[in-house]
Amino acid sequence: MIFGATGDLAKRKLFPSLYRLYERKRLNKFAVIGVARRQLTNEEFQASVRESVLSSLGNKENLDDFISHFFYQSHDAGDSNSYAALKKLADEIDGHYTLEGNRIFYLAMAPEFFGPIALHLKSDGLTDVKGYKRLVIEKPFGHDLASAKELNKQIRTAFSEDEIYRIDHYLGKEMVRNIEVIRFANAIFEPLWNNRYISNIQITSSETLGVEERGRYYETSGALRDMLQNHMMQMVALLAMEPPIKLTTNEIRSEKVRVFRSLRMVEGEQIKDYFVRGQYDEGAINGKQVPKYRDEPMVDKESNTETYVAGKIMIDNFRWAGVPFYIRTGKRMSTKSTKIVVQFKDIPMNLYYETEKMLNPNLLVIHIQPEEGITLHLNAKKAGGHLDAQEVKLSFANTGVFTMNTPEGYEKLLYDCMRGDATNFTHWDEVAYSWAFVDKISEVWQKTKAAFPNYTSGSMGPKAADELLEKDGFFWWPVTDLDVDICQ
């Protein structure tokens, strides 16, 4: 059951992802009930599913058969009568498709509905099934620790922790999943993966888009809650965790939780030494003039909301003591890119010091999006020269190998959920530790008015974010210089 089936997420991501699973024969016995407020017939709903698949994947075979598995139920999320009608329909469909009582409830709705819907699902009998029942819940999971706890309490009355699948769509991305394999399947990285050999790690997630039509939501969120609390912190955890004993959900999650427990908590006056906030001014992106954040629709003219955040995250454990994890994320930046740069320490003595320039440090770059791949930056002899060293890049690009884009994150996450694999969903403990960390920052930022706007649209963020690294003797590796060469 998809709650919010007429919404943007369902149309853009969920229906095409379900089609891809169907096409790959990963959906055998299935039916989908679309649930939303407006009155639609089954036929009208099926037409919208068809339209969504056509517009994102083009013309496809077996589309008629695929959409025949879709049903629609008009619904008011707050009304018990609606749930009674939904239960009746679900029970009929369950019998017809022999679904063995297995149910997934996907809440693709505004977050204020998450708790009430979960409570209704239980009180109105929809969770009384003889098969499995699973709840998939979209972000945001609360807007601070207190609200996240309250939401968790509500959904836990209807579902146990192992039945709750909290979506972080970054965990569906191919290269985010690859972090673990790169680290734990290569003898050359794991021995170096610590404070003796790594000087710093940089994670950038930049967008060229502004807040678009999401001003109302974004005003209550900002980059800190929208990006850092979830996606950025998840990437930090995957990079920093200890090797799990086994690749099981519980083992991996417990290692990630240990990273969150080791985070250096910063608060009050310390925040300014570790975090920088920004808000975009007007400027030009790809030659097109764009307005400042405060002039976007449904945004306060005096808004104190950050559209950019950069930070230094310290993990105070034996492996990472002294290694800064720098993160930055923002809107209206010069380029759309998500990359991780692992910078290794300089070699003990530079024999090539006499050459014109210093040797480049070794870098391992993990390209998350839009291109997907890995690049290792080494120094090698310049061909023909005497003994000059120059930087060379060993590159691997996913697109070069598979000649097509790797599966959409949502496709993989939906499939994981159907198989009952919660590894790439966020456990409550991760959510809670992450909010506790972020709340300390937002408490300070909410109390003090920032000198916004402080970065031009089309730049890489405020100057203070550069200074954050400069005072430690580092600099942000320019993301465009690091691009992987994609062979077609």
Q: Which residues bind ligand NAP (CB under 6 A)?
A: 4-10, 12, 36-38, 75-77, 108-111, 138-139
CB-wise, 7 or 400, nearer to ligand NAP? Answer: 7
**Residue 69 or 169: which CB sits closer to ligand NAP?**
169
Minimum separation from the CB atom of position 8 to ligand NAP (A): 4
Q: For residue 215, which amino acid is it?
A: G
Contact partners, residue 147, CB within 8 Å, separation at least 6: none
8 vs 100, beta carbon nearer ligand NAP: 8
Active site residue 377: no
Cα-based distances in Å from 423 to 237, 260, 315, 407: 13, 16, 22, 18
Instruction: Output the smallest distance, CB 483 to ligand NAP, in A.
Output: 26
Please check whether residue 219 is in contact with residue 298, taking contact to mean a CB–CB distance below 8 angstroms: yes
Q: Are 4 and 34 in contact (CB under 8 A)?
A: no
Q: What is the chain's alpha carbon radius of gyration, rounded to the nearest angstrom?
A: 24
Question: What is residue 345's three-state secondary structure?
Answer: coil
- Choose between 4 and 373: whose C-beta lies nearer to ligand NAP: 4
Instruction: For ligand NAP, give the closer residue by CB, 139 or 339.
Output: 139
Catalytic residue among 75, 169, 231, 377: 231
H helix count then E strand count, the chain: 17, 17
Q: Which residue is nearest to ligand NAP (CB)?
A: 7
Residue 412 to residue 410: CA distance in whole angstroms: 5
- Give least dist CB 53 to ligand NAP, A: 17
Q: What does the alpha-carbon distance between residue 452 and residue 308 come to, in Å, rounded to a whole number?
A: 11
CB of 473 to ligand NAP, least distance (A): 37
Instruction: Count Cα atoms within 13 angstroms, Cβ side, for 229.
Output: 28
Query: Residue holding tokens 């060229």?
Result: 208
Tell the smallest beta-carbon distance from residue 165 to ligand NAP (Å): 14
Q: What's the rounded Cα separation, in Å, for the pair 52 and 31?
A: 17
Active site positions, annotated: 231
